[in-house]
Amino acid sequence: MRRVLRRFRALPIRARLSLLVAAAVAFAVAAVSVTCWFIVQGKLYEQVDDDLKKASLRMPGQLQDALDNCTETPYGTGLFRNTYSQLVQEDGTVCILQDSAATVKVTQADKDEIKNGDTDKIYFRNGTTGDGTDVRVLTRPMGGTRTATGETGPNVGLVVAVSLKSTEKTLNDLALILLLVSGIGVLGAGAAGLAVARAGLRPVDKLTEAVEHVARTEDLSVRIPVEEESEDEVARLSRSFNSMTSSLASSRELQQQLIADAGHELRTPLTSLRTNIELLTRSEETGRPIPPEDRKALMASVKAQMTELAALIGDLQELSRSEGQRGERVQVVSMEDAVESALRRARLRGPELTITADLQPWYVRAEPTALERAVVNILDNAVKFSPEGGTVEVVLTDGVLTVRDHGPGIPAEELPHVFDRFWRSPSARALPGSGLGLSIVARTIQQAGGEVSLARAEGGGTVATVRLPGAPVPPPESPDSRSVRKP
């Protein structure tokens, strides 16, 4: 059995569906055919039994002459033409009536029924005659008879039978017809199942070809056509495949763009480092010392380029971290504490600026380090573009953080690009930075379920707005609440 199941599972889905459909139809047709055959058999036997009853009722009331002349040769009035008819005594003695072609074999059950003498009952059975003909037999007890001396004689019964030849021929013909119809039905069901399987699995074939094409060529532009109104499983699978290939293509494009942009951004500090180091090396090799002021400037430039490289590599590592790596560190975080920590770092970077803060408690679910870094990046931009002695205003209320500076602001045509990777405003390319800070901010806030935007502020400058879902108090008795940062 297990071997058969293994072989069945090894067949293609199309073949399995065809076999299953054929088997189901074969079972249904077989059940209907057998039921039909038994119903017809019952109706035919019921008709034969009715004919036997009518024939038995035509028996004359006087049986004595027949019994006095009892013989195994035909005797009687000829009332039972085309039937097998005989009188049977309780001891099994048979008196064949006229026109009976042969004797019906008497069974012990017939003798017992005749001996009981219950004239209100009629018994039916299948039997055979002396020459082996199959017959339907009616046994009707007739009670006792009187002898010549007036005494009651033994009980007798009337046995009437009719040949089942025509009935059996009808049933055999019906069985043959049902068998042929069933065979044709099963073959038709198998063909129909194969056609239905081909039609139903055609989208799966297309999907298989598409997957094989992608695996062979790595061409992620392949799409499977899907009817818009279709909502079946195959359509859903096709839509999922299209969505997957679209996401993979987008991811590959972003990856290639990231590599290209990273290579472009790394080229400048690396070129500067190489130039400075070559100057220092040549000075050592030729024995011509570089003037102290120039040497000091070269070392400062090398240090600045190394710092820029470290920051760029750190930003790239931050962007390359997967969603799963971030999800493992998500906690309930006090946004007020994260902003306070970022403010302390921002004040060190811009000691000549005035940074005001109006913070209210707000708790969110986020990665603590990533959230603080996002706020630091926003504050760094505000500090970088603020004029000397300017003011930066920071407000946190009801989960909305706003950072407003009074710098030159961002041109309206540049606002759609501020969160793109490596994008830098033409007016800011001379300033330090990798162009990844705001990209990291956007990704961090989006992963925390919030949104961030930059806009021109009234009166000049830029205002950054961060909205994060949360609550003014941490969740009570929450396991995450134990990791909330306290001031």
120 in a structural domain: yes
228 in a structural domain: no
Nearest CA among 335, 384, 400 for reference residue 392:
384
Q: SS3 of 396, please?
A: strand
Nearest CA among 155, 168, 163, 146 for reference residue 62:
146
What pLDDT is attached to residue 485? 43
What pLDDT is attached to residue 322? 46
Range of the domain at 374: 323-483
Mean pLDDT of the 275-294 span: 82
Which residue is listed with tokens 């027949």? 66
User: Of 37-41, 112-116, 243-247, 422-426, where does mean pLDDT reach its minimum?
Assistant: 422-426
Which residue is listed with tokens 């800070």? 437
Terminal CA-CA length for the chain: 71
What pLDDT is attached to residue 308? 67
> Is residue 151 very low, low, confident or very high in pLDDT (cuts 50, 70, 90)?
low
- Same domain? 198 vs 280: no
Q: Is the per-residue pLDDT at 218 higher than 70?
A: yes
Q: SS3 of 479, please?
A: helix
- Name the strands in the sheet holding 451-456, side by side, starting at the edge strand that comes first in the sequence: 354-359, 391-397, 400-404, 462-467, 451-456
- Which residues, 6+ apart, have CB-to-CB distance to 96 below 8 Å? 71, 72, 73, 74, 75, 85, 86, 103
Q: End of a domain among 124, 143, 163?
A: 163
For the segment 461-470, what is each residue's pLDDT rounded down to a tens digit? 899 999 999 9
What is d(CA 92, CA 104) in angstroms, rounded to the nearest whole number? 12
pTM for this model (two decimals) = 0.45
Supply the CATH number for residue 366's domain.
Answer: 3.30.565.10
Supply the CATH number for residue 253's domain.
Answer: 1.10.287.130
Supply the CATH number for residue 146's domain.
Answer: 3.30.450
Axis crossing angle, helix 13-57 with helix 2-10, rounded to the nearest 10: 120
What is d(CA 37, CA 168) in angstroms, rounded to the nearest whole number? 12
Which residue is listed with tokens 């407000």? 395
226 in a structural domain: no
- Same domain? 41 vs 91: no
> Is residue 402 very low, low, confident or very high in pLDDT (cuts 50, 70, 90)?
very high
- Same domain? 27 vs 173: yes
The count of structural domains within the chain is 4
Q: End of a domain among 163, 196, 228?
A: 163
225 in a structural domain: no
- Same domain? 108 vs 126: yes
- Same domain? 53 vs 189: yes
CA dihedral 136→142→143→144, nearest 10 degrees, is: -110
What is d(CA 20, CA 175) in angstroms, rounded to the nearest whole number? 25
Mean pLDDT of the 215-235 span: 76
154 in a structural domain: yes
Computed over every residue of the chain, the mean pLDDT equals: 78
CB-based burial, 323-359: b 16+ in 10 Å, e otherwise:
eeebeeebbbbbbbbbbbbbbeebbeebeebebebeb
| Cα-only R_g, the chain | 52
230 in a structural domain: no
> Is residue 165 very low, low, confident or very high in pLDDT (cuts 50, 70, 90)?
confident
Nearest CA among 472, 466, 333, 442 for reference residue 394:
466
448 in a structural domain: yes
- Same domain? 137 vs 89: yes
Give the range with max mean pLDDT: 8-12, 139-143, 330-334, 474-478.
330-334
Structure tokens belonging to residue 127: 């039997």
What pLDDT is attached to residue 426? 56
Q: Which helix (H) or strand (E) holds 354?
A: strand 354-359
Q: Which helix (H) or strand (E) holds 3?
A: helix 2-10
Give the range with max mean pLDDT: 101-105, 107-111, 478-482.
107-111
For the segment 309-365, what is each residue's pLDDT rounded down to a tens digit? 776 676 666 666 644 445 457 889 999 999 999 898 888 777 788 899 999 999 999
Give the range with max mean pLDDT: 153-162, 175-184, 240-249, 301-310.
175-184
Q: Percentage of the chain surpassing pLDDT 90?
A: 13
